[in-house]
Amino acid sequence: MARLDPSTYHIPVMLRECLDAMLLHRSGLIVDGTLGGGGHTAAILSEAPSDSTLMSFDADEMAIEHCKQRFADELSKGLQSRLRLVHANFDTMADVIRESGLPLQSVLLDLGVSSYQFDHHERGFSFRMMAPLDMRFTPEGETAADILNRRTEPELAAIFREYGDEPQAWRLAKAVAQRRGLAKLSTTGDLRDVVIQHIPPQHQPKTLARLFQALRIAVNDELGRLERTLTSIIPLLQPGGRIVVMSYHSGEDRVVKNVFKAHTDQLIIVTKKAIEAQTDELAINPRARSARLRVAERRA
């Protein structure tokens, strides 16, 4: 497989803050739950102790192949390598960690979707490119087209509102139902046309972004997977071990906050208020604008 341009993956947001929060001076198992282009993984390898092991997860085969090339020197060490690339969703990490038998010291989850996934047009993540309404990270399960064509108006409105913070959720749900009565929605262009017909031009780009985000979250059960993952790994952390989560959507941040609060018998919440990017980072990395960083530590 050809080497991918690293610029197709996003620049890590609040990288220094993430690394500091992970307490990388502690030896043991470190987990990067969202490998992507390998930005966080590279930084962790450069700062973690030489006797640490880093597991980096990604369900996207393209990301795994990209990072096999990026970290070829480290992976060539075989059993002596500090890095393990795991081709799986991060919601499997609890099982993988248990099987490893290694003491878990820190976990990082950067929930941002990579630029590569948005630009990989045949998946239908972007409203700017004509493609099938798929949006699945893996080949299984419902597609975005399935949801648009099968769900009731109230269900669609709830998806648009809860996962996309869309103020016109009911209006757009009704418009989708009317459109599919004429012909099923099957492409990104079909959904774009619905928005164009019912939303003023000046509001269309943001409305489309919110709808596509909402559908992506629904298709991949992102909030459910996040909650299950956090809940499953808390008991595996060593005393003093850290969970560091970077979210980009109010629903994600709400899940992280609520899970941490629900487990205060096991966790100390390090970030009483979510950390946001500083002004200088916002100037060079627009993705940082919506980022929220929360950290929790396993009680002794």
The answer to whether residue 121 sits within a structural domain is no
Q: 42 and 18, same structural domain?
A: yes
Q: 151 and 281, same structural domain?
A: no
pLDDT of the residue at 11: 76
Q: 234 and 209, same structural domain?
A: no
User: Is residue 110's pLDDT more than 70?
Assistant: yes
* Average pLDDT of the residues in 205-209: 94
The answer to whether residue 94 sits within a structural domain is yes
Q: 91 and 40, same structural domain?
A: yes
User: Is residue 63's pLDDT more than 50?
Assistant: yes
Sign of the torsion angle spanned by Cα atoms 232, 100, 71, 64: negative
The answer to whether residue 28 sits within a structural domain is yes
Q: Which of 194, 219, 244 is the last residue of a domain?
A: 219
pLDDT of the residue at 235: 97
Condensed to tens digits (0 to 9), the pLDDT of residues 123-148 reads: 666 777 788 998 887 778 899 999 99
Q: 150 and 100, same structural domain?
A: no
* Average pLDDT of the residues in 12-26: 93
- Please report, for the domain that includes residue 70, its CATH number: 3.40.50.150
Condensed to tens digits (0 to 9), the pLDDT of residues 145-196 reads: 999 999 999 999 999 999 999 999 999 999 999 999 999 999 999 999 999 9
User: Is residue 1's pLDDT more than 60?
Assistant: no
User: Is residue 288's pLDDT more than 90?
Assistant: no
Q: 214 and 148, same structural domain?
A: yes
What rounded mean pLDDT belongs to the chain?
91
Lowest mean pLDDT among 41-45, 93-97, 114-118, 246-250: 114-118
The answer to whether residue 127 sits within a structural domain is no
**Enclosing domain of residue 256:** 6-115+222-298
Task: Give me the phi and psi of 39, to 5 degrees please.
Answer: -60, -50
- Please report, for the domain that includes residue 186, its CATH number: 1.10.150.170
pLDDT of the residue at 115: 52
User: Is residue 4's pLDDT more than 50?
Assistant: no
Q: 227 and 101, same structural domain?
A: yes
Condensed to tens digits (0 to 9), the pLDDT of residues 67-81 reads: 999 999 999 999 899
User: Is residue 299's pLDDT more than 80?
Assistant: yes
The answer to whether residue 152 sits within a structural domain is yes
* Overall domain count for the chain: 2
Q: 109 and 25, same structural domain?
A: yes
pLDDT of the residue at 17: 96
pLDDT of the residue at 285: 84
pTM: 0.87
pLDDT of the residue at 2: 40
